[in-house]
Amino acid sequence: MDAIVLLREDHKTVERLFKRFEKTDDDDLTERRAIADEVIEELTVHAWIEEQVFYPAARDAAPDTTDHILESIEEHHAVVWMLSELKTMDPADERFKAKMSVLMENVRHHVEEEEQEWFPDVRKAMGRNRLTEVGKQLEAEKDKAPRDPLAVPSAASK
């Protein structure tokens, strides 16, 4: 599968989870916890594969996207930090829903920037064959990626 198609599919999966969370009632704590846990795993894996495989390949093929990639890495750092807090937070905590809302805003902003501002440039620079190669690498890395944000090395240590 083409790398950008794979990443967009991940984005859609997370957006569906966000919409499910937004439809929950305040007393639906078990459902909120379950959805949050799915979001945590999906986003942890997604950020990992982007940083380990896609961003280096994109930067290589389209050096003009470097600033976007560096900003995206910092956005990931903030998201992983929020995910690690959500992982250990009780859904009954008055801040749980608010933290999920901030997470959703951040991720939606990040997705919009990637998909609108620089994925098209990367697609042009890489071409179909290279995007398919990178897509296979992304799929392979998904199997090895951490699912727990607490297991992700800090961006500050990079």
> Does the pLDDT of residue 125 top 60, yes or no?
yes
Gyration radius of the chain over CA positions: 16
Query: Rounded to the nearest 10 degrees, what angle do helices 29-49 and 3-23 cross at?
Result: 160
Whole-model pTM? 0.94
The answer to which of 1-10, 30-39, 87-96, 146-155 has the lowest mean pLDDT is 146-155
pLDDT of residue 154: 56
> Does the pLDDT of residue 157 top 50, yes or no?
no
Average pLDDT over residues 65-86: 94
Mean of the per-residue pLDDT values of the chain: 94
Please tell me which residue, 154 or 113, carries the higher pLDDT value. Answer: 113
> Does the pLDDT of residue 82 top 60, yes or no?
yes
The answer to which of 109-113, 136-140, 152-156 has the lowest mean pLDDT is 152-156
What whole-number distance in Å separates Cα of residue 65 and Cα of residue 96? 35
Burial class of residue 105, CB neighbours in 10 A (0-12, 13-18, 19+)? exposed
Our measurement of the distance from residue 107's CA atom to the centroid of its chain's CA atoms, rounded to an integer in Å, reads 7
